Amino acid sequence: MEFGKESWRTYEQGIQREWLLTNGMGSFASSTVIGANTRRYHGLLVASLKPPVMRHLIISKLDESITVEGNTYNLYTNETLDYISDGYKYLQRFSMNPVPTYLYNVGDIFIEKKVCMVYGKNQVVVVYRITNGQTKCTLRIAPLVNFRDYHFNSSHHNLKFKQFNQDAGVILKPEYYDIDIFINSSRGLFIPKQNIYFYNMSYAIERERGLDAVEDHYIPGWFEIDVEPNQEQSITITAGLGEAQKVDGEAIIAAEAGRLHALEKKAGFSDSFAAALVRASDAFIVYRRSTNSKTVIAGYPWFTDWGRDTMIALPGLTLVTKRFDDAKDILYTFSRYIKHGMVPNMFPDVGEEPGYNTVDGALWYIYAVYKYLRYTGDYEFVKENIYDKMEQIIHYYKSGTLYDIKMDQDGLIRAGNPSTQLTWMDAKVGDWIVTPRYGKAVEINALWYNALNIMAQISARIGKDGSEYAQMASKAKQSFVAEFWNEEKKCLFDVINEKGKDDRIRPNQILAISLDFSLLDEEKALQVVNVVLKQLYATYGLRTLSPDHHEYRGVYKGDQWNRDGSYHQGTAWSWLMGHFISAYRKSHKYSEESRQRCLKFIYPFKDHLKDACIGSISEIFDGDLPNIPRGCFAQAWGVAEILRAYVEDVLEIRPYEK
């Protein structure tokens, strides 16, 4: 993807697009297409000290300037409390193919800059290629260094390092943590400095989010590289943690391009949009040290790995892409932590207990296992390693487990109480539970019905008696239709508890159709899809509440109170579009007309890959027009579900049906 000056005629325009690189360990690099950091989470190296967590900002950025004939031109763009430097005016072109590449132009001098993370290491390389004109010039590169948790900003008072200067770079040791930060260059000299700071960098996005938006960075010195007239030079800056290393920057970039190309080739899609989402999906599959296995990062830049998100995203991230070993690893690892029939929502680190505060995580787990079997046919693995855990889930949900989760006499699942938030709509600000959904939630019982049918099928396949599961499923279906059908609105109630039946129109009901085992007959399914399309469709996702409801909030912005207050009260979520597309095709009997309609639902996402985080899909969007992207700029289940639905329901590539 390529962009030109028309994309950054102003600073405000230039900071609208961002880029992301990852290293398979939870670490990442990210900034805007004009090189200005607008988030506390932006940085050239944000490293996971305990993969994939304990992320710390290590290198904020590199600021470059070029001096020729006594004149210095600053190529960097930064916002402070009292000015915005305008180096972006020298930026001629930005591309992401597959790494961020900047092309600057000053007179007859051209400076190309490529950024790449070293996969599997907390290292980043920046490769400069200077094509000089007729006059000698000097390139100065100043690293802005930090060392802090990525959720918090730093003051210069807290940025203290022991500094060990070298001809080609510097090693820094943070005052309060035993780790080495190295920065070196393949050419030129390092000119060390002491007590030099970049003061008051201001982050526009953090201001918008009502958070602390100002911080300082340490500048240990800078590199200077002289370039003779009509000469072309290549310089590699390497920065990372641990023992200082010099690497071949171009070789690192070529290796990363080759790795991503191999993933595309393995997935096997000739379609360019599907291939782009395969590339995007790779960012979320990472290594977790505490379990010595793969896991799924829920979203960048601030989420880590979550059980619910992992299971929802698993089919799109690992099955559609043919990363079956990763799927098996993830499913097996989570099975080891199932307790009282519950799947961890927050994964454990060393010496910590998992968090089990989710009613749907275990049910999504069973569904993910089913999708794994559909794609691989690997019943032996499930029989030997996972089946007994799946039985345990059903047993505990039937007889009762944590958080008041228990099957009612009507065969449906009831969960929680007024003080709990167990479904995916779990926003809570202080004591304010924004979307109380305790009792019988519609999507939980759709998942429960699917889990029972899945257990009946798997049991029969591996020689077990699954008749009880089939009987439970039959009873659950009968009760579901009787209790959840809203005849007045021709759709499903969202949740049922002692207060009555909640008739707010929310997207959760779409799962009663989209999942493999549908609960509704053809007429009712079509009616639900029509209601959801009319009231909840918002271009890039489904709104979490109908605009007709007085509690609807159509814009997600402001401080945490305001943002969390709209998170599930009208904000549109990208991941829901995957299930909506599946439900739409199913309810229209997979007609060619419905396939063409779903292709139209996909078109905006093709455009979105060039917006927000280039090449990925945002977590959420305003429910109101023009549906501005918000939240995490790259979300696992958003990418995964759009990829899955596009491949299975639009391209109609379903290997399991052959």
Angle, CA 601 vertex, CA 598 and CA 604 arms, to 5°: 150
Judgement on whether residues 237 and 301 belong to the same structural domain of the protein: no
Single-letter code of the amino acid located at 271: D
- Identify the segments of the chain with pLDDT beneath 70: 348-351, 658
Tokens representing residue 657 in the block: 């049906």
Is residue 262 one of the residues assigned to a domain? Answer: no
Please count the structural domains in the chain: 2
Residue 156 CA to residue 195 CA, distance in Å, equals: 9
pLDDT of residue 537: 99
pLDDT of residue 656: 83
Judgement on whether residues 403 and 519 belong to the same structural domain of the protein: yes
91 backbone dihedrals φ, ψ, rounded to 5°: -75, 120
Is residue 46 one of the residues assigned to a domain? Answer: yes
Reported in sequence order, the residue ranges of 597-646 that DSSP labels E, i.e. its strands, are 620-621, 629-630, 634-635
Is residue 433 one of the residues assigned to a domain? Answer: yes
Judgement on whether residues 239 and 377 belong to the same structural domain of the protein: no
Query: Which residues constitute the domain of residue 524?
Result: 271-657
Is residue 264 one of the residues assigned to a domain? Answer: no
Is residue 290 one of the residues assigned to a domain? Answer: yes
Judgement on whether residues 495 and 532 belong to the same structural domain of the protein: yes
Judgement on whether residues 236 and 277 belong to the same structural domain of the protein: no
Q: Look at residues 204, 219, 253 and tell me which one is the last residue of a structural domain.
A: 253
Judgement on whether residues 144 and 287 belong to the same structural domain of the protein: no
Tokens representing residue 365 in the block: 């787990």
Q: pTM score, two decimals?
A: 0.97
Residue written as tokens 């200082």? 244
Judgement on whether residues 241 and 351 belong to the same structural domain of the protein: no
Mind spelling out the 3-state secondary structure of 148-183? EECCCCCCHHHCCEEEEEECCEEEEEECCCCCCEEE
pLDDT of residue 533: 99
Judgement on whether residues 31 and 174 belong to the same structural domain of the protein: yes
Is residue 263 one of the residues assigned to a domain? Answer: no
Return the CATH number at 228. Answer: 2.70.98.40
pLDDT of residue 431: 85
Is residue 258 one of the residues assigned to a domain? Answer: no
Q: Look at residues 199, 218, 253 and tell me which one is the last residue of a structural domain.
A: 253
Q: Look at residues 196, 222, 253 and tell me which one is the last residue of a structural domain.
A: 253
Q: Is the dihedral of CA 581, 582, 585, 586 positive or negative?
A: negative
pLDDT of residue 351: 61
408 backbone dihedrals φ, ψ, rounded to 5°: -80, 175
Judgement on whether residues 232 and 323 belong to the same structural domain of the protein: no
Judgement on whether residues 332 and 209 belong to the same structural domain of the protein: no
Judgement on whether residues 484 and 397 belong to the same structural domain of the protein: yes
Cis peptide before 315 (omega within 30 of 0): no
pLDDT of residue 76: 99
Q: 408-411, long-range: CB within 8 Å, 24+ apart, which pairs?
A: 408/440, 410/475, 410/479, 410/483, 411/472, 411/475, 411/476, 411/478, 411/479
Residue 197 CA to residue 200 CA, distance in Å, equals: 9
Judgement on whether residues 190 and 331 belong to the same structural domain of the protein: no
Of 548, 501, 495, 505, the closest CA to residue 529 belongs to 505
Is residue 167 one of the residues assigned to a domain? Answer: yes
Cα torsion for 514, 505, 406, 483, to the nearest 10°?
-90
Return the CATH number at 491. Answer: 1.50.10.10
pLDDT of residue 348: 56
Residue 23 CA to residue 567 CA, distance in Å, equals: 30
